[in-house]
Amino acid sequence: MIDKKTIADPTTHYGSPRAATRHFMVQRLTGMANVLFLIFFVWFVVRLAGAERAEMVAVVGHPLVALVLAALVVSVVLHMRIGMREIIEDYIGEGRVNRFSLLCNDIFALGVALLALGSIAKIVFWG
């Protein structure tokens, strides 16, 4: 049974003992940022939906668009990693499956970030 005492006691390792407070703050800060990023994202999708490659390269290749898009990717990935961690911590009991799930979550988040940022970099620097 998880109650206030369990959560307040660091030896129960409920949540990450090293990073729980940081996760709490990062989740709220990236959440606020993502509200703004969503407005940008709507513009981005409407501007480029179904566009030819040349047009995508022209828009994504613009330094400001590329920087905002890259920042969006970082903010979204941080937010979704912490969100999924919280779900795993809540629904999957302590043990190997829990640790394996957290590992898969980290790999997925890292993969999404690297692929998205790599693609943006390719478009910006090599067209």
Partner 1 sequence: MAMSIMHRITGVAQYVGTLLLVAWLLAAALGETQLAAVNGFFGSWLGQVILFGYTWSLFHHMLGGLRYFTWDFILAFEPRGRETIVRLQVLGSVTLTLLAWALFVWM
- Least distance in Å: CB of 118 to partner 1? 7
Residues that bind partner 1 (CB under 8 A): 28, 31-32, 34-35, 38, 41-42, 46, 49-50, 52-53, 56-57, 60, 73, 76-77, 80, 83-84, 87, 108, 112, 115-116, 118-120, 122-123
| Residue closer to partner 1, measured from CB, 20 or 112 | 112
Angle of CA points 50, 110, 121, to nearest 5°? 50
The Cα 92–Cα 99 span in angstroms is: 9
**Residue closer to partner 1 (CB basis): 71 or 84:** 84
The answer to whether residues 77 and 112 touch, using CB atoms and an 8 Å cutoff, is: yes
Alpha-helical segments (H) within the chain: 4-8, 20-48, 53-60, 63-91, 96-126
The nearest distance, CB 84 to partner 1, in angstroms, is 6
What span, in angstroms and rounded, lies between the C-alpha atoms of 71 and 65?
A: 10
* Nearest residue (CB) to partner 1, 35 versus 64: 35
Minimum distance from residue 65 beta carbon to partner 1 (Å)? 12
Cα–Cα distance measured from residue 127 to residue 87, given in angstroms and rounded to the nearest whole number: 39
- Minimum Å gap between C-beta 11 and partner 1 is 28
Nearer to partner 1, 23 or 123 (CB): 123
